Amino acid sequence: MATYRKPVSIINEAGWCGGCGHGVVQRLITECLEELGLQDKAVCVVDIACSYWSLDALDYDAIAGPHGRCAAVATGIKKVRPDSTVYVHAGDGSSYVIGLSETCYTAIRDIPITMIVVNNGIFGMTGGQMNLATTLIGDKTVSSKEGRDADTMGHPVDMLNIIKNLDVEFAARGALYDAKHIDETKRYIKRGFENQMNKKGFSIIEVLSPCPTNWKMTPIQAMEKIKNENEKMFPVGIYTDRGGETV
Partner 1 sequence: MNTDYVLMKGNEAIAEGALRAGCRFYAGYPITPQSEILEYMSLNMGKRGGTFIQGENEISSMSMIWGAAAAGARCMSSSSGPGYDLKQEGISYLSSYNLPAVIVYAMRYGLGDGEITAGQDSYWEAVRGGGHGDSRQIVLAPASVNECASLTYEAFDIAEKYRNVVIILSDGAVSQMIEKCNLPEPKEHDIDEFDWVISGKPLGTKKNKVTNLDRTIGYEASDKYVLDKYKTMFENEQRWEEFETDDAELVLVAYGISSRVCKTAVRQARKNGIKLGLLRPVTVWPFPRKAFEKMPESVKGYVTVEMSLSTQMGEDVLLAVKHSKPLYSYLTTYHIPTADGIVDYCNSVIAGDVEPREVI
Q: Kindly list the distances between the CA atom of residue 21 and the CA atoms of 33, 150, 193, 211, 245, in Å, as whole numbers in the listed order.
A: 19, 27, 20, 7, 28
Cα gap 172→56, rounded to integer Å: 27
| Residue 211 sits in the site that holds partner 1 (CB under 8 A) | no
| Residue 27 sits in the site that holds partner 1 (CB under 8 A) | no
| Residue 202 sits in the site that holds partner 1 (CB under 8 A) | no
Shortest approach of partner 1 to residue 180 CB, angstroms? 30
Closest-CA residue to 86 (of 207, 202, 219, 230): 202
The pattern of x and - marking residues 88 through 117 that bind partner 1 according to CB under 8 A reads -------------xx--x---x--------
| Contacts of residue 76, Cβ cutoff 8 Å, sequence gap at least 6 | none
Q: Binding residue for partner 1 (CB under 8 A) from 17, 27, 41, 162?
A: 41
Other CB atoms within 10 Å distance of the CB of residue 68: 23
Shortest approach of partner 1 to residue 39 CB, angstroms? 6
| Residue 129 sits in the site that holds partner 1 (CB under 8 A) | no
| Residue 12 sits in the site that holds partner 1 (CB under 8 A) | no
Closest-CA residue to 74 (of 35, 109, 122): 109
User: Which CB atom, from 85 or from 240, has the smaller least distance to partner 1?
Assistant: 85
| Residue 247 sits in the site that holds partner 1 (CB under 8 A) | no
Question: For helices 100-108 and 70-80, what crossing angle results, to 10°?
Answer: 40
Cα gap 15→154, rounded to integer Å: 33
User: Which CB atom, from 60 or from 188, has the smaller least distance to partner 1?
Assistant: 60
CA atoms 151, 214, 66, 169: torsion sign? negative
| Residue 162 sits in the site that holds partner 1 (CB under 8 A) | no
From the list 50-58, 149-157, 194-202, 228-236, the region that binds partner 1 by CB under 8 A is 50-58
Binding site for partner 1 (CB under 8 A): 8-9, 39-43, 45, 52, 55-56, 59-66, 69, 72-81, 83-86, 101-102, 105, 109
